[in-house]
Structure 1
Amino acid sequence: MQRYFLTNEQDEQNIIFSKEDIHHIRRVMRMKEGDHVYAVFPDGRAAVVVLSSVTDTSVSAKVEEWLAQSSELPVEVVLACGLVKGDKFDYIIQKGTELGAAGFVPFEAERSIVKWDLKKGAKKIERWQKIAKEAAEQSHRNRIPAVAEPMSVTQIIEHGNMFDVKLFAYEETAKSGEMPAFYEAVSGLASGGRMLAVTGPEGGFSEKEAAQLRGAGFIPCALGPRILRAETAPLYVLSAVSFYLELKR
């Protein structure tokens, strides 16, 4: 069943869909009155709704059944990722959303090959947010992860003050064989906790950046004994958190 996120406060008996969703319901899915879809309200509640009216210009529905179960991770994991080449950041956002990320923060690291273009930045953020929305619908999320504007390492450090656990994936830690830090960080997360996981660009973190992060209380972590690509590391973090907190019993 198709899933749609509602953007405004809604009357449960007269739900109004956005123009984009109206087009998708009518032209792509070719739905009609009486068909059912999932609707996610701005507060994160989800329901099965029945389409009560489908016209050329509007689609309305009413709640038939509220869904008690949520597909969200029991903790909030925000990924701060160094800017990467090509469409790799698109991939991180799409797959990261499917895996349960609460948000994404791009940053321009010293070794980032890609430099942020201020003129094109707004359109890029808009595209990334659209990718997150579509991935959230596909994976039946109860929330759409927010994509922030790029930050500096200094701003990432300040942002970290809002989190219970903050770490960064550091390949030098993996090379030295120090493996327990990531496990301890994840196992120490209580339900409702917040984690900020920072991963570098293709060239990794510079020694200066690693020192800054470590000095600000970010835990340097190895993500296993292998060196992961920039687009793989954030997805490993989410997969491990999901396994430990959702599947491990």
Structure 2
Amino acid sequence: MQRYFADYNSQENRFRITGDDCHHIARVMRMKEKEEILCVSEERKTALCSLTKISDDEVLADVIQWMEESAEMPVDVTIVSGLPKGDKLEWIIQKGTELGAARFIPFTAARSVVKWDEKKAEKKVSRWEKIAKEAAEQSHRAVIPQVLPPISFQTLLRMGSQYDVKLIAYEDQARQGEKSVLAHALKGLKTGSTLLVVFGPEGGLTENEVKELEGNGFRACGLGPRILRTETAPLYLLSAVSYHLELLG
């Protein structure tokens, strides 16, 4: 069943869908009135709805019943990625959303080959947000993850103070066989905890970057014995968090 994030009117007990989602319902899916969809409100509540009006400008859907469901990670996980080349960040956002991330923040790392173009910033971030939204709908989430424009390394250092646990995925730790930091951090997480994890770009983080991060309360950790690509490492981390907190229970 199709799922959409939409505006909910409590007085009329109905959702209003506009923009690309309206076009998707009317022109792509060619839905008809009385067909059913799932709608998610700004309060993260999901409802089974019946379509009551379909036009080029808006779609109205009346609530049939509210659903009791929870597909959200029990902890708030922020993925911070050194700005990678090509469409790798899009892949991280799409798959990371499916795996439960709450937030994606790119940053300009010392070894980032890509240079951020401020002239294209709004269009680029808008595309990232769309990818996150579509992935959240596909994976039946009740929240669309935040996607921020790239930040500086100094901003990242200051941002760490807002989180309960701060980790650095560092390949040198993996080469040295380190395997306790991540496990220990996951054991310490509780429902509602906030976790921030920093990943380097293709060339990895520099020693100076790691030292500065560690000086600001971050802990370097390995992600198993293999060296992972910049677009694979965040997915490994999110899978580990999910397994520890959602499957082991």
TM-score band, normalised by shorter chain: over 0.9
Contact 1:4 1:38 survives alignment (8 Å)? yes
d(CA) in 1 for partners of 2:168, 2:14: 46
Q: Hey, what does 1:42 align to over in structure 2?
A: 42
d(CA) in 2 for partners of 1:10, 1:204: 48
d(CA) in 2 for partners of 1:131, 1:116: 19
d(CA) in 2 for partners of 1:142, 1:191: 17
Deviations 1:199-243 (CA, angstroms, capped at 9, x unpaired): 000111111100010110101010001111000111111010011
2:228 maps to 1:243: no
1:132 aligned counterpart, secondary structure:
helix
d(CA) in 1 for partners of 2:60, 2:4: 12
- The one-letter code sitting in structure 2 at the alignment partner of 1:170 is Y
Q: Hey, what does 2:216 align to over in structure 1?
A: 216
Q: Hey, what does 1:166 align to over in structure 2?
A: 166
Contact 2:8 2:15 survives alignment (8 Å)? no
2:134 aligned counterpart, secondary structure:
helix
d(CA) in 2 for partners of 1:222, 1:56: 51
Tell me which moved more, 115-124 or 97-106: 115-124
* 1:9 Cα deviation from its structure 2 partner: 4.8
d(CA) in 2 for partners of 1:36, 1:161: 45
d(CA) in 2 for partners of 1:96, 1:65: 30
* 1:18 Cα deviation from its structure 2 partner: 1.6
Q: How does 1:1-249 map to 2 (within 5 A)?
A: 1-6=1-6, 8-11=7-10, 13-249=13-249
1:178 aligned counterpart, secondary structure:
coil
d(CA) in 2 for partners of 1:216, 1:57: 50
Query: TM-score, normalised to structure 2's length?
Result: 0.97
* 1:21 Cα deviation from its structure 2 partner: 1.3
- The one-letter code sitting in structure 2 at the alignment partner of 1:132 is A
* 1:144 Cα deviation from its structure 2 partner: 0.4
RMSD: 1.1
d(CA) in 1 for partners of 2:164, 2:66: 32
Deviations 1:137-164 (CA, angstroms, capped at 9, x unpaired): 1111101001011111211121111111
d(CA) in 2 for partners of 1:129, 1:56: 23
d(CA) in 1 for partners of 2:14, 2:205: 51
- The one-letter code sitting in structure 2 at the alignment partner of 1:45 is K
d(CA) in 2 for partners of 1:246, 1:173: 26
* 1:245 Cα deviation from its structure 2 partner: 0.6
2:184 aligned counterpart, secondary structure:
helix
Contact 1:10 1:41 survives alignment (8 Å)? no
d(CA) in 2 for partners of 1:56, 1:148: 31
Show structure 1 runs of 4+ deviating over 3 A. Answer: none
Query: TM-score, normalised to structure 1's length?
Result: 0.97
- Specify every segment of 5 or more residues in structure 1 that has no aligned partner in the other structure, as ranges: none
Identity of aligned residues (%): 52
- The one-letter code sitting in structure 2 at the alignment partner of 1:174 is A
Q: How many residues align?
A: 248
Question: In 2 relative to 1, CA 56–122 (structure 1 residues): closer, same or farther, beyond 3 Å?
Answer: closer
1:113 aligned counterpart, secondary structure:
coil
